[in-house]
Amino acid sequence: MRSDVLDSVRQLYPGARSTVYLDSAAVGLVSTRVRTAVVELLSSHMDGGIVAAPSWRVHQESVRAAAAELVGGRPDGISFTQNTSTGLALVTNGLRWVPGDNVVLPAQEFPSNSYPWRGLRALGVEVREVPMRDGAADLDALSGLVDDRTRVVTISAVQYSSGHRYDLGRVSEIAHRQGALLVVDGTQAVGALAVDVTGLDVLAVSAHKWLLGPFGIGFVHLSQRARDVLRPTTVGWLSVADPFAFTVEPDLATDGRRFESGTENAAGVAGLGATLDLLHELGRSAVEETVLENAALLTELLRTAGLEVHRAIDPSAHSGIVIASRADISPGALHEALLVGGVRCSLRGAGVRFAPHYFSSEDDLAHAAHVAGQAVTSP
């Protein structure tokens, strides 16, 4: 990202100026634009209930279109959700499972994309775990686990504990060869990396990480195939074609709105719209390029500082996540030293997880590497 653009962007993120914030994989910072959008929505609601006005409905549909554009999808495939878990629940609750069905997923998926599927075992559904190798699911092994009773293959676009970016095109081919739905947790990718829903049946995203949006708002993109097979299990007044017709029998919407049941999280949608608008201004490709460049530079700086960085050899598997450690210092001690040194990061996987975003500067990355280097060389 050009220095003038970076300077302008950093003005929108006060939190990135007060600390070295390298933790977007845990919780992303919100911008002043997001704050303003949420405050303006609540102020309008306070002054006259604009949430129920036609202008709000128009704005909400523009946010739906912006979310679809970000992931290369269609507005009619977008459903607003509370978070990744509620998006995935559309699948776990929406399929008609029978004993003997199976679900295939990596052995070390994030709980949001693990617990719901494991809960299906009470219905006689088998959960098949793909073994992990060097922080990633073995896709050859995954292929061998998928058969004609596989209803769902599910995987994260980026592995939260290692930063491994999966080849979703290959996973799609494996799943669809046996007629299974491909369900993707996109929360560790969307907002940082260019994710395209071509070949994906369900993409579930929470806004509060790399999307840099508010808590409690997210979206799913559902393919036409997924919309045809999934049953809405929570139907409310917004699930129908015309919510203001107030019909006795529900005439369900044919698009993604059929999975939106009750009154929406209007403040969350407003904040989501603001962060999506900024992403589109910056450009999806430019954001990905910046995130990957920052991660690559941080990798180099950390290695120079004497740390071991755990990343895939293949650059196509890289993401914005960088995991670092050193054998002679515990990950907990290293993490504590970084926090004391003003670097915000997390403990995950094999060590400390760094997650620089597009607002991160080279000075931020150099400072993080310096603090980490001091921690491993101190007596």
Domain ranges of the chain: 3-30+283-377, 34-281
CB 345 within 8 A of CB 379: no
Same fold, 3-30+283-377 and 34-281: no
Find the mean pLDDT for residues 185-198. 98
User: Taking 70 as the threshold, does the pLDDT of residue 52 lie above it?
Assistant: no
Per-residue model confidence (pLDDT) at position 5:
79
- Exposure b/e, 261-287, CB count within 10 A at least 16 = b: eeebbbbbbbbbbbbbbbbeeeebeeb
Tokens matching residue 103: 């679900």
> Helix or strand or coil: residue 322?
strand
**Which of 355, 365, 321 lies closest to 165, judged by CA?**
321
Split at pLDDT 50, 70, 90, the class of 51 is low
Which pLDDT score is estimated for 53?
A: 67
CB 131 within 8 A of CB 107: yes
d(CA 57, CA 144): 47
pLDDT tens digits along 124-155: 999 999 999 999 999 999 999 999 999 999 99
Mean pLDDT over 250-274 rounds to 91
Give me the percent of the chain exceeding a pLDDT of 70: 98
Residue 172 pLDDT exceeds 90: yes
Nearest Cα to Cα of residue 115 among 89, 82, 146: 89
Bridge partners, residue 326, by sequence = 329
pLDDT of residue 4: 76
Residue 168 parent element (H or E): helix 168-177
More confident residue, 97 or 55: 97
**Residue the block writes with tokens 């299990």:** 233
Q: Is the pLDDT of residue 247 over 60?
A: yes
Q: Domain 34-281 carries which CATH code?
A: 3.40.640.10
Helix/strand number for the chain, H first, E second: 13, 15
- pLDDT of res. 241: 86
- Could you please state the CATH topology (level 3) that the domain comprising 3-30+283-377 is classified under: Aspartate Aminotransferase, domain 1 (3.90.1150)
User: How many residues in total does the chain contain?
Assistant: 379
Residue 98 has a pLDDT of: 97
pLDDT at 183: 98
CA 264 – CA 261 distance, rounded (Å): 8
| Of 210, 200, 203, nearest in space to 319 by CA | 210
- Chain-centre distance for alpha carbon 59: 23
- For CA atoms 95, 100, 105, 107, the dihedral sign is positive
Residue 81 CA neighbour count, 13 Å, CB half: 28
Relative to beta strand 181-185, strand 351-354 is unpaired
Q: What is the pLDDT of residue 30?
A: 98
Q: Tell me, what's the pLDDT at 95? A: 97
pLDDT the model gives residue 299 = 98
More confident residue, 350 or 271: 271
Angstrom distance (rounded) from CA 254 to CA 233 = 15
Each residue's pLDDT tens digit, 68-113:
999 999 999 999 999 999 999 999 999 999 999 999 999 999 999 9
CA distance 162 to 353: 8
- Given pLDDT bands bounded at 50, 70 and 90, which one contains residue 379? low
Query: In degrees rounded to 5, what are phi and psi of residue 257?
Result: -65, -20
SS3 at position 29: coil
pLDDT of residue 6: 82
Q: What is the pLDDT of residue 44?
A: 87
In 265-378, where does DSSP find H-type helix? 266-282, 284-304, 331-340, 362-377
The answer, yes or no, to whether residue 32 has pLDDT greater than 70, is: yes
| 48 — pLDDT class (breaks 50, 70, 90) | confident
How far the first Cα of the chain sits from its last, in Å, is: 38
For residue 1, pLDDT beyond 80: no
Q: Which residues contact 74 (CB under 8 A, 6 or more apart)?
A: 68
pLDDT of 108 reads 93
Computed over every residue of the chain, the mean pLDDT equals 94
Q: Which has more confidence, 242 or 67? A: 67
